[in-house]
Amino acid sequence: MKQVKIFAGNASHDLAERIAEAYGTQLGDLSIQRFADMELGPSFNESVRGCAVFLIQSTNPPAENLMELMLMVDAAKRASAHSVNIVMPYYGYARQDRKDKPRVSIGAKVVADFIQSVGTSRLMTCDLHAGQIQGFFDIPVDHLDGATVSAPYIKSLNLENLIFASPDVGGVVRTRAFAKKFGAEIVVCDKMRLRANEIASMQVIGDVTGMNVVLVDDIVDTAGTICKAADLLMERGALSVRAVITHPLLSGPAHDRIRESALTEVIVSDTIPLRQENPKIRVISLADLFAAAIRNVVTHESISSLFV
């Protein structure tokens, strides 16, 4: 069995420490130099020759998080690592997964090409915005399910009359899969956008009267959608509204919107570190899930067994 070494980029250092601890090891010694113009230069301060190297880094903005990770992969390859595996808890640019209008890029495919071009052996990530992004890769992709961690928390609340809601039509499949774990029904919040991050109108498809509602989504960015959905669901007779979100980008007015909304709480994971405290936000760590997935990769065991 190859020796396993785990390293962290700057964007995910705290999560990486928790993953390494759950795996039973310590983070490897890695330095990332910054030149006067802020150019990045990663350097491994220990040998990785012949090792199975796992590099942990989410690629949320700024874009230098992605560049830093690619330079780390290249450095590990040039240092004769046996395999270089990316653990990308949050896959940036995943929302740009298709051409939804003329003359636009498909950012998710560009990132996939970038990852492969530097010699990555495999990618491990969680709750892609669209599962079919895996098809952009010609290397193994381990797509973990964040519900493995968040569903037990929802069950621990012992909520009666539980129903799940998708904040938009595109999230129905994700919401249905989550609701299936509880044997519960779903409703859909159908929204119309004028432009990105701006909602023109929203309506609820389904009855939530007297129900405790859980909104399910992969990303919360400006929080406009989930807050508007929560307010509308309460107007339609819901007893309470919570949200389960994997990736807390929380840009711009997101924290203020959540504080002022009808949401009882927002359950998020630690794929992206929170930039400020918020009494309505509860963070649940995915460290144990990623550590178990790394262990199963190394021992050639099933990854899907962790969440199926």
Q: Is 251 helix (H, G, I), strand (E, B) or coil?
A: coil
How far apart are the C-alpha atoms of 304 and 299, rounded to whole Å? 14
Q: Are 28 and 57 in contact (CB under 8 A)?
A: no
DSSP for 110-176?
A: HHHHHHHHTT--EEEEE--SSGGGGGG-SS-EEEE-THHHHHHHHHHTT-SSEEEEESSGGGHHHHH
Has 191 been annotated as catalytic? yes
Q: What is the DSSP letter of 223?
A: S
Q: Are 271 and 249 in contact (CB under 8 A)?
A: no
Beta-carbon contacts of residue 131 (< 8 Å; ≥ 6 apart)? 143
Catalytic residue among 2, 191, 228, 280: 191
Q: Are 245 and 225 in contact (CB under 8 A)?
A: no
Residues facing 248 on adjacent strands: 220
- Catalytically active residues are 191
